[in-house]
Structure 1
Amino acid sequence: MNLKINRELEEIVNRIQMEINATNHQAISGKHKNEELIINTIKKYITDHNTVVEGYTSRELTNRIFNAMARYDILTPLLENFEGTIEEININRWDDVKVHYQNGEVLWTKETFFSPKFAKDTIVRLLAEQSEETLSEANSVVSGSLGTNIRINAACYPTLDEDAGVQASIRIINPNKLGRDDLINNGTLTEEIFDFINLCKNYGASIIVAGATDAGKTTFMSSALADTPDHKRIVTIEEGIREFDLIKRDEAGRVINNVVHLKTDKNHSQIDLLKFSLMCNPDIISVAEMKSKEAYAAQEAARTGHMVMSTTHANNCRAAYTRMMTLCKMTSSIDDKMLYSLIAEAFPIAIFCKRLDDFNRKVMEVTECFEDENGKIDFNTLYSYEIDASVRLSDAKYKIDGHFVKNGIISSRFQNWLRSSGVPMNEIKRFLVLEGSDQK
């Protein structure tokens, strides 16, 4: 970063903006700008004033000034490539912007915003134009979306130090619309694990997917839901931001599956939408994330014959159940033992996802949860991923080797449940074999 160059660029932008505002202020205001007029004005200014900035050709200077004025400055080329190689953009402050790539690399941007104010103004404009959200001192923390599956969270003063300008995290969910074969080929899980989860989902066994932020929970759930037979009706429920995109079309553009995407608004919470979805005759209800009172409503729905698939923040499969219990306690005063039993009944299958230090995401564990003959809640680990070696190649680069293990088979109780739900016995038998369980 060169502060002198940043000041020069900001001064040029301010002068050109003043010039345009004096004759046609609407050209640079609002979502629909007069891009041709702006570019011509920039080129004329550079020519008339013999403007030269160190490190920039005339074309590069024109593009940088145009992006700063009419688009989203240094974010513009990154956002245009977001669904290609980029996974996440982290703005820690105006002069610290890092880009996370899908191959695991984390790199600083070569350029920074001109100043704290310019960085804040850029994010304010991005939110207003793309997400219809307002970031200001009175509303200093904002969450929104940029399109169907791009999430943005931003903060400014007074939540953030004033000299930092702005903070923002921009993250794409399931950037490449990964499917069953992609997850298997990437080593996220094995064919058998995916097919077992799919079997449970398609025949109505509710599933909770646990993991930390950026563990790949939503991507995994989206991939699993996308592998649902087209005739089954899926209702997805999300908190304000649409990330799922499960609708399929044929070559003529006709919708061929059965999906309803819902998201909360100021008047309708996830609980409201859960209650509404139960009246829509769904085969599968997907609650994008359980983090509050909706957990109780979700387990109620799961115990009334509806398949519910959701995510929550927890450190392993077992912790997912205690996490759900603490969330349910926000609404219910039911005795802890009884509540724990209800949750175990509601969600017989738990999955734990994790992003390893080599930036690869793995399904680390698949567990069956059940109540034994004595009324005790027990766990049966079905599959796990075991790390054989972890080598640090550089400061931020690791090589991790491991393999998947089939630790056990589903309980006789769950086998009976699957049979009563219509699963053919030959399909169940596939998952009752332990021999040859270790898989790379």
Structure 2
Amino acid sequence: MSINFFQEHLSVKEEKHLEEIRHTEMENLRSSIFSKLASRTSNMKLFGTKDPNDIEILIKHIKDIIEEETQNGNIKNLSKKSLRALTQEIILDITSLGKLHEAIQDETVSEVMVNAPDEVWIERKGHLIRTGINFRDNEEVTQLAQKIAIDVGRRLDNTQPITDARLPDGSRVHMVLPPITPKGTTITIRKFKKEKLTISDLINFGTISPKAAVILEALVKARGNIVISGGTGSGKTTTLNVCSNFVPDIERVITIEDSLELQLSCAHVVKMEARDKNAEGTGEISIRDLIKASLRMRPDRVIVGEVRDGSAFDLMQACNTGHDGSMGTTHSNSPELCVARLDNLILQAGFNLPSRAIRQVIATAVDVIVQISRLPDGSRRITHISEVSHFDEASERVVTKNIFEWRMTGVNAEGKLLGDFVHTGYRPSENLINKFELYGYNFDELVSKSDEHYQQLFENGNLLKEVSELEKTI
């Protein structure tokens, strides 16, 4: 073998060794910067900040720490370029979501999911896409999750390894630590939509037809009690936000959520947010606590972001005790299953009531179930607007009747599902008809007009001219 071969081989080995030294120096420096920044910026609220003064102070602190580490002989092999890149990376880590920053900033992305350090997915236009984002290891993912939890006042540790939180921009985040998730810490972020959607947007998206939208608006204005039902990511919260656009400004609305994400357009809104236990295991404020408290705050309507425990019974009670027009969402895949879920939630909460009595409460409390689904092509559709008609004594079950249905008719060349929103011909019960009439709406007249008629009204900004004299004079 030639001398040149040995020199070349030695050069490769030296370069590899030098690269390992640089990597060790970089990781040690990164650790030192984070450690020292914690005390130097403890009085600053940096997560989510866009204030240039805050960023300038942060950069100065990082530069000072790099200078200290250099003087201590801890930085010997790092270039100015790599130090600048590290500074930018740390600023992103501290003020935003670090490696997830770009995905969060992408307006076409609706959800970001970290399944493992090397497995990050996004949802774009209803479709899941695996990204090229990679974390160094699970410790980096865990540090990000814990930073989010601490900055928004939530706990995430071995005693409470699952938590929900709200980011400064309003996005909702759910985090789980191992060993519950064996592949590593998981982070799921549902992005906050900056623009408030309207019923016209839902019509343009094909989520609902113009005629069904008119009926939905009339139901809200006539103070029908509504439960919005659907699977995860189906658009329940979006639909609830849109429905809130129809609540008159003169009404006092109390909203209750685990993490604030509703964007109600009403003028008179009081927002309430549940709270986890503190480090001592005390201080928890549950959704049930908040519903009970809200009833002492003179609400016209109570809106619960998500019903998933015994709070279902409290919401039913609110609906049955003079707070007509109350609303909430829950997870289920059909109007019938929605009723069954409410029944099960109340039973599982330990209320000492027979199932028959619980179902009677549901039948008298809920007027309408709005079912929304995410379809296989990624689109979202309101598939049913169903009346909770009555409690059937013979079968001891709650009867639901579809007022509107979405019926699939085929699939186009691009794989999009085709279908029509159809008025089933069902005329609601006397109770619901009376609610319509009390607020000046003639149900039969509303459903007799065509989608084209209502589409034109939407386009002209003239929807629902048929307002009641009562509404005009309030």
TM class by shorter chain equals 0.7 to 0.9
Q: 2: CA distance between counterparts of 1:431 and 1:345?
A: 25
1:304-323 matches, within 5 Å, as: 304-306=321-323, 307-323=325-341
Of 85, 91, 97 in structure 1, the residue corresponding to residue 120 of structure 2 is 97
Give 1:85's aligned amino acid. T
Any stretches of 5+ residues in structure 1 without a counterpart?
A: 249-256
The alpha carbon displacement at 1:231 in A equals 1.4
1:75 to 67, 86, 100: 100
1:33-182 residue pairs with structure 2 within 5 A?
34-37=57-60, 40=63, 49=77, 51=79, 63-64=88-89, 66-68=91-93, 71-79=96-104, 81=105, 84-101=107-124, 103-129=125-151, 131-147=152-168, 149-161=170-182, 164-182=183-201
Aligned to 2:28, which of 1, 8, 14? 14
Cα 1:288–1:372 change in 2 (3 A) is closer
Answering whether residue 297 of structure 2 is matched by residue 275 of structure 1, we say no
1:385 matched to which residue of 2? 406
Q: CA RMSD in A?
A: 3.6
SS of the residue aligned with 2:139?
A: helix
Give the partner amino acid of 1:107: I
Report the secondary structure of 1:189's partner residue. coil
Contact 1:173 1:218 in 2 (8 A): no
Deviation at 1:287, TM superposition (A): 1.1
- Is the aligned partner of 1:324 residue 2:324? no
Query: Which residue matches 1:424?
Result: 440
Residue aligning to 2:239: 220
Cα shift at 1:355: 0.7
Q: Measure the CA separation in 2 of the matches of 1:417 and 1:50.
A: 77
The answer for the alignment partner of 1:409 in structure 2 is 426
Cα distance in 2 between the residues matched to 1:186 and 1:323:
29
Structure 2 letter corresponding to 1:314:
S
Displacement of 1:206: 0.4
Whole-angstrom CA distance in 2 between matches of 1:73 and 1:26: 20
Quote the offset at 1:326 in angstroms.
Answer: 1.4
Counterpart Cα distance in 2 of 1:325 and 1:351: 17
DSSP 3-state at the match of 1:326: helix
Instruction: Check conservation: 2:410, 2:419, Cα contact below 8 A.
Output: yes
Structure whose alpha-carbon radius of gyration is higher:
2
- Counterparts of 1:436 and 1:36, CA distance in 2: 58
- What is the number of equivalent residue pairs in this alignment? 412
SS in 2 for 1:353: strand
Please say if 1:260 is aligned against 2:282: no
Paired residue for 1:251? none
Shift of 1:384: 0.9
Report the more deviating stretch, 201-210 or 89-98: 201-210
CA deviations over 1:63-114 (Å, ceiling 9, x no partner) = 34543576532022333x16x322111000111111212x234333333111
CA distance 1:148–1:244, change in 2 (3 Å): farther
Residues 402 and 218 of structure 1: CA distance in aligned 2, closer, same or farther (over 3 Å): same
Q: C-alpha displacement at 1:423, in angstroms?
A: 2.4
Alpha-carbon shift at residue 402 of structure 1 (Å): 1.6
Q: Which consecutive unaligned segments of at least 5 residues does structure 2 have? A: 1-18, 47-53, 276-282, 456-474
Contact preservation (8 Å) 1:174, 1:218: no
Match of 1:192 in 2: 211
Query: Secondary structure in 2 aligned to 1:362?
Result: strand
Contact 1:6 1:115 in 2 (8 A): no
Q: What does 1:325-364 correspond to in 2, within 5 Å?
A: 325-329=343-347, 330-364=349-383
The answer as to 2:455 corresponding to 1:433 is no
Q: Answer whether contact 2:115 2:184 (CA < 8 A) is retained.
A: no
Cα distance in structure 2, aligned partners of 1:65 and 1:98: 23
C-alpha contact 1:368 1:410 (8 A) present in aligned 2: no
Q: Deviations over 1:19-78 (max 9, x none)?
A: 7867x7744767447422256469988x9746499xxx9976653454357653202233
Sort the Cα spacing of 1:118 and 1:9 in 2 relative to 1 into closer, same or farther, 3 A: farther
Question: Retained in 2: the 8 A contact 1:409–1:431?
Answer: no
The 1:71/1:340 distance shift into structure 2, 3 A limit, reads closer
Q: Deviations over 1:183-219 (max 9, x none)?
A: 1111110122222122222222101111111111111
For the residues of structure 1 that align with 2:346 and 2:156, how far apart are their CA atoms? 32
Distance 1:67 1:273, change over 3 A: closer
